[in-house]
Amino acid sequence: MSFNVQQIRKDFPILDREVWPGVKLVYLDSTATSQKPELVIEAMNAFYRLSNANIHRGVHVLAEEATAMYEQARVKIAKFINAPSAREVIYTRNTTESINLVAYTWARTNLKAGDLVILTEMEHHSNLVPWHMLASERGIRLEFIPVTGEGLLDLDAYRSLLSQGPKLVSFAHMSNVLGTINPAEEIIRLAHQAGAVTVLDGAQSVSHLKVDVQKLGVDFMAFSAHKMCGPTGIGALYGKTALLESMPPFLGGGDMIKEVKLRSFRPTTIPSKFEAGTPAIAESVGFGAAVDYLTSIGMDQISAHEHEMIEYALERLEEIPGLKVFGPSADKKGGVASFTFDGVHPHDVAQILDRDGIAVRAGHHCAQPLHEKFGITATTRASFYLYSTKEEVDKLVEGIYKVKKVFG
């Protein structure tokens, strides 16, 4: 289908909402969570109305329908990221849980005191804290690829770190603060040459770019449905079959077992080995519907629209005296514009913008070390998605001038 942003906006009921009397919503917080199209909302409603049952063990009609829908969604997700097999897609609650799964299973099995894990200075806390916890427990060593003043990773410093023989390299495909799109394929290739396993935080990239795990060659990739027009409470971990099969279970309980004795148990095969208990079944249906929706539009078209949006947004924001946008130029980033405004705290900026229905995010965006790197405590972040328009960017700019007027 051809890309028509006004037609796409009609798919999202919330975009018609008045957040204040006579004030329409201007949603510029899609990096935190995307809005949901009618197709996703109705898919989940239909599941609860017509097919609600627990999965895998029941033999009645509802149980078989629910199981089929749950597994069909997994197949869609695998195809969306070009995974070789749907068995390599593990359902989790979100990107955070996916990274923790790797840290608690693969890493605790394979890493020992003194082993090196390479991260970057631009990581979300989800890709920092699990490794800090492991460092405290096991004595592993953490080193970080520096971020340049332009907001890019210093790949020369990365090559130097690789000479120290890391066991794991874990990094964000796209920064949730700077919008930087990192050269994932090159970073992964170099890591493999050094003998390291790779983990990709795809929370921001899978929803905005065409991501192919086979082309990237990545060992693990974590991502969340709620960033990509799907429901909250469900995400996925992609992992290569051999690695997943070698890992111990993450959580114990029902559905992840092959056999249980009073004094022992045997786990079942992947992916069920990592999916203990009753999962988020309705959410999996919504996840699959979100993948259908994005696929029908085309990720290349979504990326092109967002590139047009961020080019326009940076151009307009640069007009405002006293405003500084962080991160690289539009050709090196996704639809994220994090900024500071002289003399005004980011939370005050966000609060005043909210009076005009403009929803942005303010704070450190779960990336405190990155903000410290730039000598700031917080930024205001406007972020764009397939339903964003240039008119909304104009309203953002008008709102910032109102902030300037309020604060003199």
Q: Which pLDDT value is given to residue 2?
A: 76
Q: Are residues 169 and 279 in the same domain?
A: yes
Domain end marker among 262, 296, 330: 296
Residue 35 lies in a domain: no
Residues 284 and 332 placed together within one structural domain of the fold: no
Together in a domain, 350 and 319: yes
> What confidence score (pLDDT) does residue 248 get?
97
Structure tokens at 262: 């009073």
Domain-ending residue, one of 261, 296, 331:
296
| Residue 250 to residue 276: CA distance in whole angstroms | 8
Output DSSP code: residue 146: P
65 and 174 inside one domain: yes
Given 296, 317, 332, which residue is the final one in a domain? 296
Query: Which residues, in sequence order, are bridge partners of residue 383?
Result: 29, 336
What is the pLDDT at residue 408? 80
- The CATH number assigned to the domain holding 305 equals 3.90.1150.10
Paired tokens of 227: 């960033």
* 298 dihedral zone (left: phi>0; alpha: psi -120 to 50; beta): left
Characterize 288-325 residue by residue with b for buried, 16 or more Cβ atoms within 10 angstroms of its Cβ, and e for exposed. Answer: bbbbbbbeebebeebbebbbbbbebbbebbeebeebeb
Over residues 169-181, mean pLDDT = 98
Residues 6+ apart with CB under 8 A from 148: 154
pLDDT of residue 83: 98
Inter-CA distances, 50 with 69, 200, 306, Å = 12, 37, 37
Reply yes or no on whether the pLDDT at 221 is more than 90.
yes
How far is residue 235's CA from residue 217's CA, in Å, rounded to a whole number? 20
Catalytic residue among 39, 194, 276, 366: 366
pLDDT 10s digits, 261-296:
999 999 999 999 999 999 999 999 999 999 999 999
pLDDT of residue 57: 83
Strands (E), 148-305: 168-172, 197-201, 220-224, 235-239, 257-260, 265-267
Is residue 271, in this structure, part of any structural domain at all? yes
Give residue-wise pLDDT tens across range 310-324: 999 999 999 999 999
Rounded distance between C-alpha atoms, residue 187 and residue 216, angstroms: 9
Same domain, 59 and 88: yes
- Shared domain for 328 and 280, answered yes or no, is no
> For residues 98 and 223, is the Cβ–Cβ distance under 8 A?
yes
What average pLDDT score do residues 335-354 get?
A: 97
pLDDT tens for each residue of 228-256 = 999 999 999 999 999 999 999 999 999 99
pLDDT of residue 320: 97
Q: Are residues 9 and 102 in the same domain?
A: no
Is residue 37 included in any domain, yes or no?
no
Please tell me whether residues 122 and 209 are part of one structural domain.
yes
Vertex 59, ends 58 and 64: CA angle to 5°? 80
Q: Which domain holds residue 82?
A: 42-296
Identify whether 366 is a catalytic site residue.
yes
Cβ burial of 232 (10 Å; 0-12, 13-18, 19+) is: middle
Whole-angstrom Cα distance, residue 353 to residue 358? Answer: 5
**Cα dist from 238 to 4, 56, 373, whole Å:** 32, 21, 31
Tell me whether residue 36 is in a domain: no
What is the rounded average pLDDT of the residues 41-62? 96
Number of domains in the chain: 2
**Are residue 105 and residue 226 in the same domain, yes or no?**
yes
**Residues 234 and 135 placed together within one structural domain of the fold:** yes
Same domain, 276 and 367: no
Instruction: Indicate the pTM of the whole model.
Output: 0.98
pLDDT digits (tens, 9 = 90+) for 396-406: 999 999 999 99
pLDDT classification of 1: cutoffs 50, 70, 90: low
Residue 136 lies inside a defined structural domain of this protein: yes
Judge whether 206 lies within some domain. yes
Q: What percent of the chain has pLDDT over 90?
A: 99
